Amino acid sequence: MKYCPVSKKCGGCAYIDVPYEEQLKMKREEMRKIFHTKAVEPVLGMKDPYHYRHKIYASFARDKKTNRIYAGMYEENSHRKVPSEMCLIQHTLANKILTTICKLAESMRIETYDEDSGRGTLRHAYIRISKATNDVLLDVVIGSKGLPSSKNFVNALVKKFPQIKTIILNFNHARTSMVLGKDERVLYGPGYITDRIGGLEFRISSKSFYQVNPEQTEVLYRTALSLAKIKDTDVVLDACCGIGTISLLAAQSAKHVIGVEINPQAIRDAKNNAKHNKLLNTEFYAADAAEFIQRMNIQPDVVILDPPRSGMTLPFMHKLAQLSPDRVVYISCNPYTQVTDIEPLKKAGYQIKKIVPVDLFGFTPHVETVALLSKLNTDKHIHVEIQLDELDITKAEKKATYETIKGYIKEKHNVKVSTLYIAQIKKKYGLDLRENYNISKKENQRIPTCPPEKEKMIVEALQHFGMLEIA
């Protein structure tokens, strides 16, 4: 066990004081509770859980006592920054680069960005490191129109760190928590780096999705493809394909692969990656997955899903159920949305065959889960349709429990809401509460009312789970 001096302030590593093997056991038990099944495989963990992050975000601030510039992360539930240049989960090279940027900013008198006033220049750094080559992509995010002495800044960094192959200047003037702005300019290098997974090379640009933990990414994708059992006669749909990592790995075995991703830059990278790896049995589309699946005229045999934390939309999942692919492999970093998303598939006759958790985020409560779903054998199973009122359970109750709603809000907003508040909002909109309360018999009991900001979050969650429609 290694000691982290800022663990009490930084909320990034909730399990920093928990032995790693114990973390894996805890995560498996949590997945069993969320999926309501013991059919969860042991978590596939790391050989070394330290310094695994090859994708790093950091913000810059000036210490009021020492007047020194430091790179850090936000303190839990605040906008105060905690120094992270010695972070135990960030790649050691990234830590060194961050320290150097701070020193250069001081020597060149580059002011840090102040969130309250909206003034200043140096705002964030975004670093990606290739596992295969150790090449570095550095995004310097500024809150002003330009970076003073940018040529000297770049030359000094590249001289000290020849691993840096690309430096990008990103402009973010918005008063927002988003790290990257829309506009950017390449200051040095080709604007991308490359990495290798499963014998294939992938181009990574600044705004392309790429997993934070490349070593475990190999394990994750190998696990997903093993469960998919792709044959040379299979047509594969890869929804939320990103830069085409899973698509191209699947293309090595499949007849044809279709990748869909809403980010146009990622699709450009995916097409370039397919061309570079000479995989011609692929096609990629920049589109919303739900809209794309509605108009596609190809029947996929295998569908692979790897969405962001918010999960897939209900229209997509319903349409997917109608397409009735033989196998669905759902990769998720948020089991709360995953377990809700697969409900339409289960109602359509799909069954969870296996759930394999893969630990990409050591020392945190988070884990990736790979779920394999396939159709029940209709020769051996009889589908019986039962009306919901026969079971004395509402459609809404079936969609999401109170704990599921709490989990969704906690994951998305990092805010805790009580069962009482959820019940109040459900009652307000005419939803059946389906919950037993030990109500006090005292007269004139003061019951707290759900605050407007939490009501908004609860309504959002109810809409997400298809329990509430507001015109």
Q: Write down the residue that tokens 């939309």 correspond to.
A: 313
Low-confidence ranges of the chain (pLDDT < 50): 378-398, 435-444
Beta strands in 267-367 (DSSP E): 282-286, 302-305, 327-332, 350-358
What pLDDT does residue 379 have? 40
Asked if 333 is an active-site residue, the reply is yes
CATH class of the domain comprising 53-197:
mainly beta
Domain ranges of the chain: 53-197, 210-375, 389-464
Instruction: State the catalytic residue, choosing from 13, 87, 241, 333.
Output: 333
Q: Write down the residue that tokens 């829309």 correspond to.
A: 182
Cβ pair 213, 54 in contact under 8 A: yes
Exposed / middle / buried, residue 21 (Cβ in 10 Å: 0-12, 13-18, 19+): exposed
CATH class of the domain comprising 210-375:
alpha beta
pTM value is 0.76
What pLDDT does residue 434 have? 53
pLDDT digits (tens, 9 = 90+) for 114-161: 888 889 999 999 999 999 999 999 999 999 999 999 999 999 999 999
Residue 201 phi, psi dihedral angles, 5° rounding: -105, 140
User: Residue 393 is encoded by which pair of tokens?
Assistant: 């359970």
User: Residue 369 is encoded by which pair of tokens?
Assistant: 């889960």
CA distance 374 to 346: 9
What pLDDT does residue 210 have? 82
What pLDDT does residue 464 have? 81
Q: Write down the residue that tokens 């090379």 correspond to.
A: 201
Exposed / middle / buried, residue 42 (Cβ in 10 Å: 0-12, 13-18, 19+): exposed
User: Residue 47 is encoded by which pair of tokens?
Assistant: 């050989």
What pLDDT does residue 177 have? 73
